[in-house]
Amino acid sequence: MKLQTEILSVAANQARGLAIDAVHACSSGHLGLPLGCAEIGAVLFGHALNYNPEQPRWPNRDRFVLSAGHGSMFLYSWLHLGGYDIPLEQLKRFRALHSITPGHPEFGETPGVEATTGPLGQGIGNAVGMAVAGQMAAAHFNTPGHPIFDYHVVCLAGDGCMQEGVAMEAVEFAGHQKLDNLILIYDSNYVTLDAMAAKTQSENTAARFKAIEWDVQTVDGHDMAAFLKAFNRAKKAKSGKPQLIIAHTVIARGIPEVQGTQKGHGEGGAKFADSARAGLGLPADQHFYVSEEVRAYFAAHKQRLLRAYKRWHKTYEAWRTAAPERAAIFDSAGVHPTDAHLLEKIPLFAPDVKLGGTRAAGRDVLQPVAADLPLVIGGSADLYGSTLNYIAGAPDFDPTDRAGRNIRFGIREHGMAAIANGIAYDGVFRPSIATFLVFADYSRPPMRLAALAKLPVVYIYTHDSIGVGEDGPTHEPVETISALRLIPNFDVIRPADPEETAGAFAAAFSRRDGPTLLALTRQAVPVLNEIPAQTRREGALKGAYIALQESAPLSLILLASGSELQLALAAAKELGAGVRVVSMPSFERFNRQTVDYRDAILPPSCRRRVAIEAGVTGLWYKYVGMDGKVVGIDRFGISAPAPEAFKALGITTAALVAAAQSLSG
């Protein structure tokens, strides 16, 4: 169909009006992008994107990610006009309590919002992840006669996103991986928040992207026909490269007093609302105005979209009949197994097994899990040799094999985690990623967003303590585990031995509503055969359990996680029959147990408690109380062979015994 520039120009101005009125109503938010990108929005949502507003999660929709999440009114306005279930009332309640139009887009809160964005740059990483998922889906599910997955991922980003390091990591990866289903639109308006962009950037963006194997086009972002031409060329490009469209725009276009300057970025322009609305041809007495003609255009457009959807659905039905095995696997997407099911799939370890550490147990546990769940994929930031999370027997994911299940992310931990979020947002594949635990700091912003957006990403992060040894304090996490435990809805599991590791993996891969980090050791740990295997497995699932039951009236509780559990078990032998040892691999999972369970493990009547963990002590006081003690490391680590490092930093059985004996009562 021909681009209807006349009516879409009117729609663009009315979308500008919606943003002005919404920002004016709540006296906050950002006007610059919704006004500056109004023509881009009109072309995308009024003409070029494939979507079905009645089925926002239609698997073959084009994904649209607003990486510049501060421009959220852009997204809400166009989704509203596009026919998604976002009533005008919700635009009026922009940024209000419990509205579906929060300050920045939040996944799961608003139909059509593909990703939680706002922290700049993340959305670009997410879009790259969705492009990976799109390539994988085509390889896993399409058959020669049934191209049921051929969607594009379209991302809109500004100078801020482009300046962020995470974006660079992600776009380099996309170029290398030849993700030609990805279209990045750069809203180049020469303005950031504090100042003109020229104050902080002087790069040649086109040259930069060409150098990392992208195709680049540059257009006037207000010229709808030119933009559409560039967009169509990007969609049809045969180069096999991801596509960048640099769209030059005027920020806050429509408010002459501020447009083109940094004053146009935020809500400042809203005070010129009345004159701006008049200039845009909007009626003075009707706020949140959408004309009948614009409504009629979008109603007709919706019918076109629904017809396209129906055509796709026919192919989809035929595909289901022709390829029932593929359809069955596709149907399993998003259906998470129970932890009991996964535990059944993971064979028990031989009691005398000699493994290098819980990372090696993780390697062995991952294989049956990956065999059972074909949509699980893995990746590592150039550390497969150390993190040991390679899915055996499956190839690498690369341009020659999009069905590969192992992604080599390169040394790009931040990009890796943002890309994993994109894969998880998409929802078909189940991402797990890996690096050294100390580098969780490099992937923490997307981890936080995974927790916020309830994404079931699994982090297999190894080398979890001073047990790293010779590499020294730069590589020895001491505060990292506690820091991650502080993120709401983020599970951390630090198993002590192979069977606890089995439980930890079952917990992580059965979780539906949030991410899980598995903190695994580099150094060897003993197999704790004195505790029945099922107890260790199920105990890890519960978060904490009794590893050693007292054989006299309870007088002392020792708590430990991970590699320090063996020290607690040894200390208990020295401290007498009234000692209980509690293994606590996961605070978060334990906190979710019933009060009865928690009290049975940690009876409130017993206040003589000592915890041991090779990390900072603060959070453990929640479990040992103010009468208790914690043996830990409230300083950075040390470079030495691991056993010497443990000794030098006081993480020993003797230190635990001494701390227990120093308790009163």
Instruction: Please tell me whether residue 95 binds ligand TPP under the rule CB under 6 A.
Output: no
Sign of torsion over alpha carbons 324, 330, 333, 339: positive
- CA distances in angstroms from 46 to 12, 112, 641, listed in the order given: 10, 15, 63
Instruction: Please tell me whether residue 192 binds ligand TPP under the rule CB under 6 A.
Output: yes
CB nearer to ligand TPP: pick between 135 and 189: 189
Using CB atoms within 10 A of its CB, is residue 513 exposed (0-12), middle (13-18) or buried (19+)? exposed
Q: Are 525 and 361 in contact, with CB atoms under 8 Å apart?
A: no
Instruction: Please tell me whether residue 581 binds ligand TPP under the rule CB under 6 A.
Output: no
In this chain, which of 16, 222, 265, 430 binds ligand TPP, going by CB under 6 A? 265
Instruction: Please tell me whether residue 268 binds ligand TPP under the rule CB under 6 A.
Output: no
Longest dimension (CA), the chain: 86
What gap in Å lies between CA 294 and CA 479, rounded to an integer? 56
Instruction: Please tell me whether residue 119 binds ligand TPP under the rule CB under 6 A.
Output: yes
338: DSSP letter? P
Helix spans in 142-272 (H):
159-163, 165-176, 205-211, 224-236
Q: How far is the CB of 187 from ligand TPP (least distance, A)?
A: 6
The interface with ligand TPP within residues 51-80 (CB under 6 A) comprises: 68, 70-71
Q: How far is the CB of 259 from ligand TPP (least distance, A)?
A: 12
Residue type, 141: F
CB nearer to ligand TPP: pick between 125 and 160: 160
Helix spans in 204-290 (H):
205-211, 224-236, 273-279
Instruction: Please tell me whether residue 198 binds ligand TPP under the rule CB under 6 A.
Output: no
Instruction: Please tell me whether residue 528 binds ligand TPP under the rule CB under 6 A.
Output: no
382 backbone φψ class: left, alpha, beta (φ>0; ψ -120 to 50):
left
Instruction: Please tell me whether residue 133 binds ligand TPP under the rule CB under 6 A.
Output: no
Helix spans in 197-272 (H):
205-211, 224-236
Q: How far is the CB of 516 from ligand TPP (least distance, A)?
A: 25
Q: Are 343 and 502 in contact, with CB atoms under 8 Å apart?
A: yes
Q: How far is the CB of 440 from ligand TPP (least distance, A)?
A: 18
In this chain, which of 88, 193, 296, 328 binds ligand TPP, going by CB under 6 A? 193
Q: How far is the CB of 70 from ligand TPP (least distance, A)?
A: 4
Sign of torsion over alpha carbons 244, 246, 247, 252: positive
Instruction: Please tell me whether residue 33 binds ligand TPP under the rule CB under 6 A.
Output: yes
What gap in Å lies between CA 149 and CA 142, rounded to an integer? 7
**Cα 157 vs. chain centroid, distance in angstroms?**
18
Q: How far is the CB of 161 from ligand TPP (least distance, A)?
A: 6
Exactly one of 169, 413, 476, 500 is catalytic; name it.
413
Query: Has 293 been annotated as catalytic?
Result: no
What gap in Å lies between CA 266 and CA 268, rounded to an integer? 6
In this chain, which of 118, 254, 498, 562 binds ligand TPP, going by CB under 6 A? 118
Instruction: Please tell me whether residue 136 binds ligand TPP under the rule CB under 6 A.
Output: no
The residue number whose beta carbon is nearest to ligand TPP equals 158
Q: How far is the CB of 29 from ligand TPP (least distance, A)?
A: 11
User: How many residues make contact with ligand TPP (CB under 6 A)?
Assistant: 20
Show the binding pattern over residues 145-184: x = contacts ligand TPP (CB under 6 A), - = does not.
-------------xxxx-----------------------
In this chain, which of 216, 251, 416, 451 binds ligand TPP, going by CB under 6 A? 251
Q: Are 651 and 614 in contact, with CB atoms under 8 Å apart?
A: yes
Stretch that binds ligand TPP, among 29-37, 53-61, 369-377, 590-598 (CB under 6 A): 29-37
Helix axes 413-426, 444-452, angle to 10 degrees: 20
What gap in Å lies between CA 652 and CA 655, rounded to an integer? 5
Contact positions toward ligand TPP, by CB under 6 A?
A: 30, 32-33, 68, 70-71, 118-120, 158-161, 187, 189, 191-193, 251, 265
Task: Show which residues are catalytic.
Answer: 413
